[in-house]
Structure 1
C-alpha cells in the first residue's frame, strides 16, 4: 500500500550513535522517559526501513533525553553534543541524498549552545533540535533569549521535541535554589511519551507565545512534532486568558497566532494523527495542509509500528485531501522548507 503513495521526506526521525547509547546507559538513561529500553539503531537499519516504505530522505535528530544528560555536568554535555553532531555531519556527507540532520544543542547551557550553533552551521546542519525543556528551563524563558536572537539572525529552522516535564519551571524559583524534579504524576505507570510529552509541547507553545519569543523572532522557523501535541484545544484558552487577565506575560491576540501558523510554524504527522488529532489542528486552530509534513518517529516507533501508522495515514489522507495536497504533505512541503537558505 505504501508504495502506491507519493514518496516521503521524514522530518521526524531519530538516530542513536553508539557513543550516545553508551553515554545514556552510563548516566541513568537506559530506559529514557519510562520507555522499556533504548531502541536499536544503525544507518543500515534506517535505510532498510526507508527503502521499504518509500521514504526518500530522513532528517535525523537526537530525541529525549537529548545531549545534556546530567544536570550541572556541562563538560559531559559538551562532549556528548559534539560527538552526536559530528556523527550526523559525517553521515550526511557520506549519504547526502538520504540523510539530513538537526544539530543537538545542550540546553540549558547558553554559551555551549551558541558555540554549537556556529560549529554545526559550518558542518552543514539543516537546523537545530531543541527539547521542550532543559532540566526545567523551558523554551521561551528569558535565559534563552540570546539563543533565539542568534537563530533569528540566521533565519534558522528548529525542531522542538518533547521531553519529561520538570518543576519548578520558573527561572526565579531555580535561582532561589529550588532543584528541578520530574513532574510526571503517572511516571512508573505509563511511559512519559504516551501523555506527558504532549502536555510539555503544549506548555512550550504557550510559553513561546506569551513570553514574546515568537513575535520577537519572526525569522525563526519552527517544526512542532506530533501535530502540536496537546496545544490545539488549549490555544483559545491561553490566548484569551492572556488578553483578559493582566500579568507578566504578553497579551496574545488571536491574529498573532494565526500569522505565526501561516508564516513561521510547521507540524509533523508522527504518532497517531488520524482520525481526530489532525482535525483538531486543522479545524480548531486553522492550520493549512501546506504546514503539515510526514514524520515516522523511527526508531522509538519500531518498524512494524511505523508501517502500521503509515497505512492508517495513507487511508486517512485519501479521505481528507486531494492528490496534490497529499504530495505536499508527504514530501513537497518539507522540500520547500528544507531548501530555504539560512545565514551562515
Structure 2
C-alpha cells in the first residue's frame, strides 16, 4: 500500500498541525476506501456465514498489507467473523460486542466509509485507528459493517515531516503558580550573580562551539545545551561549568552553520534581552529562556509559569520596553 504525495512546497502547504493531520488522514482514507468497498461486496455475498465471512475477509486482507485485523459486524456491532490477521484467523473475538469502541460511536458518512479518529487500543495499548465500511445487500439494505484495525506504526508513510510554524505562541502555565504569583518575589540565584560570565560562556558555545540550542535556567542556575555534532543528547551545565570560561575548551571549535536562521552576530543581543527580562520586575520576571539557531525561535518562561515562543527577530524588535510594559501579556494570570 503505497502513495505518492503531491508537492506541498506551494502556498497550499499545511500551515498548522491540525491541517497536516487532516492531510495525512485524507491520504490514508484514499488508500483504504477501495479495498474495503471490495471487501464489503465480498462479505455481502457470504452474509452472515462465519466460515464464508472468514474466507471473504482472508482474500480481502491481501489488498491491505498494513491491516492488523479485519472482521465483520452486524448492525448491533456484534462480531460475526473471526479476527482475520496476516497470520490467519483469530477466534477469540468471534461474537464480541464492539458497540462501546470509539470507532463504533462515530457517525458513518452517507458514502458508507469512515476512518476513525486515532485511539489507544485495549490490548496492545498502542495508538491505533479503525476503518469502517458499511455492508449492504443487493437491494441497498444495511447488513452490517466491515472493520479494519491498524496500528499507527504499521501504516505507510504518506506525509512529509511536519514543520512547526514560527508564529508567536503563548501558553498558560500551572494555574496554582499563576494564582500565587503576587505572593512571590525574585531571589538572586548564583547564575544571576555571575551573569556576565555565564552569558559570555553561552555566547562562545553558540557562536563557535557547535551549540545550536541553548536554554538558561536562571532560577535554578543551570543550562541545557544541544550540539550540532551530537544532536540526540543534551548536556547539562551546572553553575560551576557556566562560570568557568575553560568549559568552552572541552567543546571543539565549530564553524557557525550556514543554514542557521539566527545570524551569528545576533546571538549576543538575544542573550542580553534575556538578561534584561530576568531583572525587569520583582514579581514578573524570566525564569528560563532559550534560543534555537535553526528554527530561529526564542522560548521564554516567566515567574507566573506562562510561556512564550516567538521568532528571534520579533523578540529583538519588541525589546525590553515591550515586556516591561506588558505585565498582562506576560502573566495572563486570569484562570
Q: How high is the TM-score relative to the length of structure 1? A: 0.18
Higher relative contact order (CA closer than 8 Å, sequence separation 6+): 1
Larger Cα Rg: Structure 1 or Structure 2? 2
Q: How high is the TM-score relative to the length of structure 2? A: 0.18
